[in-house]
Chains A and B, each alone.
Chain A
Amino acid sequence: MSDGINHQTSVDPMDLWRQWNETTSKMWSTVLERGKEAPLDPYGLYQLWLKNIEEAQKQLKADPSGMMNPLEVWKQWFDATTEVWSRSTELSKDSLELTSQWLKIVEETRARILSGEIRSTDPFTLFKQWYDATSETWAQVVGDVISSERFMEANRNFIETYTSAVRVSHRVNEDALKNLQIPTRSDIARVAELVVSLEEKVDTIEDVLEDFEDSYAKVATSEAVESLAGRLEQVESKLNTLDTLPAALEKIEALGGLEGRLDRVESKLDTLLLALEKINISVPPGTATTRSSTGRRIQKKNYASQGVKDAALGIELAKDNDE
């Protein structure tokens, strides 16, 4: 069998846990019983705890083969703990109901351990199993405490006190730093505000320029410029054809003038014809031949007058052409 040294180095952690909890529970029961055994002083509690630890160590050395069934160890521990916490619930005011809630957790955990749900000896795995087994209840307990009126009131008071202290501290620091001519956070913040305002203006200008660019202006590409140049050339060539316009306009004006002249010539010829007709009428009868000759003469004169007309027209036209 293993000697005492081996067992001391490979002591069952469950047993140690049991010893520690018994010691602790004794300490708490002493406190909660209002120090029936001894006056309540911090050193007294510590000494009681040390005393119980020494007793546990003696028991361990005396009983090196004390390798109890872990479940039995747990059972003993839970029995001791629940007994202590039950007594404390009865004795104390337990305004936040922490004690009774803690007792509920302990009892629930006992059930799980004794059923074998938590059984590992690896400390990390044990811790995780413990957490998985108890976290829901823990969360419920803590949630109930946090949502209680007492807790929220205390929290509100704390916020008021703390923020008040922070305000005073900031004010004192600001004044001290100002006296030392050292820039403070508020000084830097003021400068930063100016920079932010400037950036705001630049951003607004950028926004306006982008709107303008997207809505109206297009970038003038070389293709666009060349196309515009081509269109300008076409317009110029069309304008060039309009140089003959004045001459054409003059001809139109000349024609208009000619028309007037023609009208005058016609009126003159009409006057001449009238005169010739009067002459014809004044010629005596018997002169049929005369008449006929007169007719021939008149016809000749008609031809002549036509010729005169034509000649007159030609002279006038020639004159106009010369002019």
Chain B
Amino acid sequence: MIDYKPSIAIVDYGLGNLFSIKQACLFVGLNAVITHAREEILAADGVILPGVGAYGDAVDTLRRLDLISVLRDIAFSSKPLVGICLGMQLLMTESYEFGRHKGLDIIAGPVNRFENPKDKDRLLKVPQIGWNRIFPAYEGASWQGTPLQEIGEGEYMYFVHSYIVQPQDEEVILSRSRYGHIDFCSGVRRKNVYAFQFHPERSGPAGLKIYLNLRKELEKARENNEYKDGD
């Protein structure tokens, strides 16, 4: 299939700049559609759950659009699902952003606020806005076979967030970053589910590489499925 372009559904629930995600997808040769229609989300080869804004509002909107079960079904299928920023936090069990809110509970663990990050004596601003480096979860861990494949250890990515995810199972941590004295999880992976606290679509060429890797993974997934179908 030479001209085949994998398709990706960018879940639209009213918040955030979905256009930059779409542009990044188009740039690496993905067919991208911004949608909140169940059929379109289910039909795509992969799904991106983006998000900027308040946790509680986002969950309410997803519920109102009847998308929670759809996203959970995808997470527990083999179709790639990628959470970005608030989209990553939504995958967790619950968040303590202005009260307690239930999340999609796809990855076990809470979302908590950055607590007074300090750089030497200087109290750092929350939200963290800007470029920060990502490192493998532990020394010797590899990003091979994930969307971070071939990204350099310590590469800079663009972050905008006040809250961090704290997965219960350390195994799902894909990358770590450090803001002041606080070491936090900046990327997770659970089988077909990936999520990043940073914005790959705003992280220059290094971030685009993540989208390119995603495209390759979608192509591979499709080849495998076709092979199975033809069996």
Q: Do A and B come from one complex?
A: no
A residues sitting closer than 8 Å to B (CB atoms) are: none
